[in-house]
């Protein structure tokens, strides 16, 4: 805000007094006149503004100087904010007052100054004008501030409303987009689920069809095998009946000849003696032929003696251990929990060192509980003259469980033979060679090919007894019998192929060579594998249908160990004999797969002179 005071010497509006408010609430004159008046008032006495000539002169000097200057200068004009009315405080005049400028027009006298007792009109007008200006400035400032506040409030509300609208619009767009994405994702998920279910249904349909087809082919194969087995049995029975009929006919003919000779004896004794000698010669020849036929039926005298020896051991076990203990309930019942544990241990064994050692140690603990003193490497337990019923009953039960496990699992999974083999050898190495003896006797009972030997049906022996001596079960097909024999033999070959060093390191103290001879019976040592293959390749035994698969199992399981011990030159002879026997029919192989596998293994040996280690032989 600004206001102007007209100059008495000028008719124009160029000179004016401007007043603004300073930081402390005082009005700050902007014109030279206002500044001069303020300074004069400040340095004058408190209530005697006109009592001194010097003061009046000073005021007049100030007015004279201001009158010569133009205090209305538009270029320097500034607006000011309204301020409260100033309080003029008069300060004492300094001791040495500075004289103002000299007056060029009129200089009042002392009498004029003395006549001015009160404030002049001009001074009153100045004060009123300043008060009005101050009030007007305050009012204008308040109105302007109110307008600015209103505008600011309106703008802020408008900005908030626009921002709210934008936020709502963005939220709606985002919500719409998310809903669209959710709908699309749900549709895609349904489509993926539908396609997956269709593929899964098709897959299971294909699997069911393949299973049904496989089952159909299996039924057809089993039916064909059963028909072939029935035909073989019928042919065998017809052949036996024909032989018996022929024998009866021969007997009748001999009786007739003897009767005729008796009737003619008196008439021609010389002729009768001659005929008798001829008959005796013919009978001796027939006896020799019969003996030769029986010798040919036996694989060898050694095989027959071995088989008979182990049959007697098994009979002894039955008579002295199994039957007495079964009859004695007081002795048998305490062993039943242990027997159940043994069956579970051997049925769940896996080919890991920790599991095999745990089962082996548990078996030895249960065996030692039945002895007066525990068996050890230094004092092993062997089959003696007196058999402790409880101890040997547990040995027999364990052997039976091992053979059952081998017959059911090993043929389908050959590597499963090695955990069972490690348990057999581990028990023997811990002081129980009697366990090996009992297991071998039961092996001979269930599988005479362990010797190897094929029993001959004796006179008066029924078919059921004969088949039982060969290890064949009732109503078991020929193919099933061969598979079961192969599984049992793979377990036996696995025991022969085991390196004793890996098992001896698991013992508290490694046994000496002398102790090993006592701990491991002869039939469980590696040379038995060489003796076995030499006997199996003999012509009479090689014609049996089971020998071909057994030779293949021998080659795959214990062949690498024999190569390491006996060398490649010796094994060349064995492999050459096996291939020639398969090719010319000397070794009977009823399946093309067995023949092809034996030939391929021998051909691979001739090219590389190496045999792959059997799967599962390592821990």
DSSP secondary structure letters along 262-310 = HHHHTT-HHHHHHHHHHHHHHHHHHHHHHHHHHHHHSS-HHHHHHHHHH
One domain for residues 560 and 507 = yes
One domain for residues 111 and 140 = no
Q: How many domains does the chain have?
A: 3
Task: Identify whether 271 is part of a domain.
Answer: no
Model pTM?
0.54
Query: Residue 103 burial by CB count (10 A; 0-12/13-18/19+): exposed, middle or buried?
Result: middle
Which of 221, 240, 265 terminates a domain? The answer is 265
Task: Identify whether 218 is part of a domain.
Answer: yes
Task: Identify whether 6 is part of a domain.
Answer: no
One domain for residues 155 and 252 = yes
Which of 91, 118, 145 terminates a domain? The answer is 118
One domain for residues 109 and 148 = no
The residue segments making up the domain with residue 244 are 134-265
One domain for residues 358 and 435 = yes
One domain for residues 513 and 602 = yes
Strand partners, 20: 28
pLDDT digits (tens, 9 = 90+) for 512-549: 999 999 999 999 999 999 999 999 998 888 889 999 99
Query: Using CA atoms, how far apart are residues 417 and 434, in angstroms rounded to an integer?
Result: 21
Query: Using CA atoms, how far apart are residues 452 and 538, in angstroms rounded to an integer?
Result: 10
pLDDT digits (tens, 9 = 90+) for 250-287: 888 888 888 887 777 777 776 666 677 777 777 766 66
Task: Identify whether 141 is part of a domain.
Answer: yes
Of 382-396, 433-447, 565-579, the range with the highest mean pLDDT is 433-447
For Cα atoms 469, 470, 471, give the angle at the middle one, nearest 5 degrees: 90
Q: Which residue has the tokens 């691979």?
A: 604
Query: Percent of the chain at pLDDT above 90?
Result: 45
One domain for residues 177 and 55 = no
pLDDT at 528: 95
One domain for residues 258 and 376 = no
Task: Identify whether 594 is part of a domain.
Answer: yes
pLDDT at 260: 82
One domain for residues 105 and 140 = no
In this structure, the dihedral spanned by the alpha carbons of residues 52, 53, 59 and 65, taken in order and rounded to 10 degrees, is -160
What is the mean predicted confidence (pLDDT) over 225-248?
88
Question: Is residue 562 very low, low, confident or very high in pLDDT (cuts 50, 70, 90)?
Answer: very high
In this predicted structure, the answer to whether residue 129 has a pLDDT above a threshold of 70 is yes
Which of 118, 145, 163 terminates a domain? The answer is 118
One domain for residues 443 and 517 = yes
Q: Which residue has the tokens 């019969």?
A: 290
Task: Identify whether 129 is part of a domain.
Answer: no
Which CATH number fits the domain that encloses residue 485? Answer: 1.25.40.510
Q: Are 431 and 374 in contact (CB under 8 A)?
A: yes
Which of 435, 437, 469 lies closest to 453, judged by CA? 469
Q: Are 45 and 90 in contact (CB under 8 A)?
A: yes
Q: Are 396 and 322 in contact (CB under 8 A)?
A: yes
In this structure, the dihedral spanned by the alpha carbons of residues 602, 606, 612 and 614, taken in order and rounded to 10 degrees, is 30
Question: Is residue 34 very low, low, confident or very high in pLDDT (cuts 50, 70, 90)?
Answer: low
Task: Identify whether 275 is part of a domain.
Answer: no
Residues 6+ apart with CB under 8 A from 342: 363, 366, 394, 397, 398, 401
Q: Which residue has the tokens 């200057």?
A: 69
One domain for residues 31 and 71 = yes
One domain for residues 108 and 248 = no
Query: Using CA atoms, how far apart are residues 69 and 60, in angstroms rounded to an integer?
Result: 15
Task: Identify whether 487 is part of a domain.
Answer: yes
């Amino acid at each position: 805000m600004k206001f102007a005071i007209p100059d008495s010497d000028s008719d124009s509006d160029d000179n004016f007094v401007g007043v603004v408010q300073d930081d402390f609430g005082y009005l700050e004159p902007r014109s030279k006149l206002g500044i001069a008046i303020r300074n004069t008032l400040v340095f004058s006495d408190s209530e005697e503004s006109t009592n001194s000539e010097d003061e009046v002169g000073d005021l007049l000097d100030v007015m004279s100087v201001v009158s010569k200057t133009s205090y209305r200068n538009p270029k320097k004009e500034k607006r000011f904010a309204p301020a409260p009315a100033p309080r003029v405080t008069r300060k004492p005049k300094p001791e040495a007052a500075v004289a103002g400028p000299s007056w060029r027009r009129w200089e009042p006298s002392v009498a004029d100054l003395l006549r001015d007792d009160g404030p002049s009109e001009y001074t009153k007008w100045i004060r009123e004008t300043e008060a009005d200006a101050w009030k007007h400035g305050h009012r204008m400032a308040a109105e302007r501030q109110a307008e600015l506040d209103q505008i600011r409030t309106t703008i802020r509300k408008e900005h908030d409303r626009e921002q709210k609208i934008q936020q709502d619009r963005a939220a709606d767009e985002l919500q719409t987009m998310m809903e669209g994405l959710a709908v699309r994702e749900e549709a895609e998920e349904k489509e993926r689920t539908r396609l997956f279910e269709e593929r899964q249904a098709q897959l299971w349909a294909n699997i069911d069809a393949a299973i049904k087809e496989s089952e159909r082919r299996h039924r057809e194969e089993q039916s064909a095998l059963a028909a072939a087995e029935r035909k073989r049995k019928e042919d065998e029975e017809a052949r036996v009946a024909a032989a018996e009929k022929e024998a009866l006919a021969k007997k009748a003919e001999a009786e007739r000849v003897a009767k005729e000779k008796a009737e003619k004896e008196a008439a021609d004794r010389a002729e009768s003696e001659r005929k008798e000698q001829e008959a005796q010669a013919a009978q001796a020849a027939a006896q020799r032929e019969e003996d030769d036929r029986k010798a040919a039926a036996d694989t060898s005298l050694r095989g027959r003696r071995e088989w008979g020896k182990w049959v007697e051991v098994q009979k002894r076990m039955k008579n002295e251990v199994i039957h007495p203990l079964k009859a004695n309930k007081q002795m048998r019942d305490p062993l039943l929990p242990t027997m159940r544990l043994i069956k579970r241990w051997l049925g769940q064994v896996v080919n890991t060192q920790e599991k095999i050692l745990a089962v082996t140690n548990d078996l030895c603990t249960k065996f030692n509980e039945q002895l007066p003193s525990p068996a050890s490497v230094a004092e092993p337990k062997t089959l003696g003259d007196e058999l402790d019923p409880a101890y040997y009953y547990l040995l027999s039960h364990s052997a039976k469980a091992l053979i059952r496990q081998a017959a059911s699992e090993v043929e389908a999974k050959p590597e499963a033979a090695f955990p069972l083999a490690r348990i057999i050898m581990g028990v023997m190495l811990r002081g129980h060679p009697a366990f090996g003896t009992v297991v071998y006797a039961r092996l001979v009972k269930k599988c005479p090919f362990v010797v190897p030997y094929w029993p001959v049906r004796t006179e008066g022996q029924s078919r059921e007894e004969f088949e039982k001596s060969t290890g064949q079960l009732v109503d078991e097909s020929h193919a099933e019998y061969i598979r079961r024999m192969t599984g049992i033999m793979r377990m036996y070959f696995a025991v022969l192929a085991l390196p004793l060093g890996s098992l001896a390191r698991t013992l508290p103290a490694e046994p000496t060579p002398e102790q090993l001879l006592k701990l491991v019976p002869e039939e469980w040592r590696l040379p038995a594998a060489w003796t076995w293959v030499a006997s199996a390749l003999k012509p009479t035994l090689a014609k049996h249908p089971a020998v071909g698969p057994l030779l293949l199992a021998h080659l795959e399981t214990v062949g690498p160990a024999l190569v390491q011990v006996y060398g490649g030159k010796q094994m060349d002879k064995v492999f050459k004999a096996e291939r020639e026997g398969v090719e010319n029919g000397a070794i009977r192989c009823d399946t093309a797969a067995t023949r092809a596998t034996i030939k391929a293994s021998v051909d691979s040996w001739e090219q590389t002179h190496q045999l792959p280690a059997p799967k599962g032989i390592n821990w």
